[in-house]
Amino acid sequence: MDSNVSSNNTTGSQSLVSTKIVVAGGFGAGKTTMVGSVSEIPPVTTEAVMTEASTDHDDLSGTPEKTTTTVAMDFGRLTLERELIMYMFGTPGQARFWFMWDDIVRGAVGAVIVVDSRRLSECFDAVDYFETNGRIPYVVALNRFNGQLDYTTEQIREALEIDPHIPIVDFDARDRLSSGGVLKRLLQYTLSRPGAPEPVG
């Protein structure tokens, strides 16, 4: 998409608005799971089976059950309130694929950084990327693995050095409503910022 928010004419009096959202985060944080749980279409994924060749690059100590990984991006779509279509683009988490991030985030109105609170160090680079970029608002989504968080929201905010105005929400990446709530929070935050695009056609 060339513009942050675009509108398309419909047969009725309403207009349909589309927008691009990026789902980022560290390796194994739950990005692909989130996109897949909330997408209203079968998600497009680039999951590849992990082999012994990847052991020199990917630390599996925190995710021993993980057998596949995203090697390019994930893609999904969600319609909110019948007038807004959110196109979701999930980034790969491994450092060796970060050269793709600039292309993936181009034209995005906002980003969700998915965090595994058991492995906070995995998301430092994603936070740094969007802090350095400065143009794309983001929210931090704490994925509840096994239904719980290892730290409080404020402890995580302090550990990641996230400004007080940036929303931090906890959610279950496997649950459609929970993941949808994260996207709605991102949209609210994005539209509340000065100079935000109008969500109308």
Q: For the domain that residue 147 is a member of, what is the CATH number?
A: 3.40.50.300
pLDDT at 3: 42
Q: Is residue 162 domain-resident?
A: yes
Which helix (H) or strand (E) segment holds residue 110: the answer is strand 110-116
Q: 91 or 61: whose pLDDT is higher?
A: 91
Per-residue pLDDT at 84 exceeds 80: yes
pLDDT of amino acid 28: 86
Domain-embedded: residue 53:
no
pTM for the whole structure: 0.78
Question: Which residues, including other chains, have CB under 8 Å from residue 98's CB and lie 6 or more apart?
Answer: 92, 125, 129
165 lies in which domain range?
A: 17-47+69-192
Confidence of residue 159 (pLDDT cuts 50, 70, 90): very high
Q: Facing residues of 76 across strands?
A: 88
CB contact at 8 A, 137 and 32:
no
Give me the number of domains the chain comprises: 1
Q: Is the pLDDT of residue 131 over 50?
A: yes
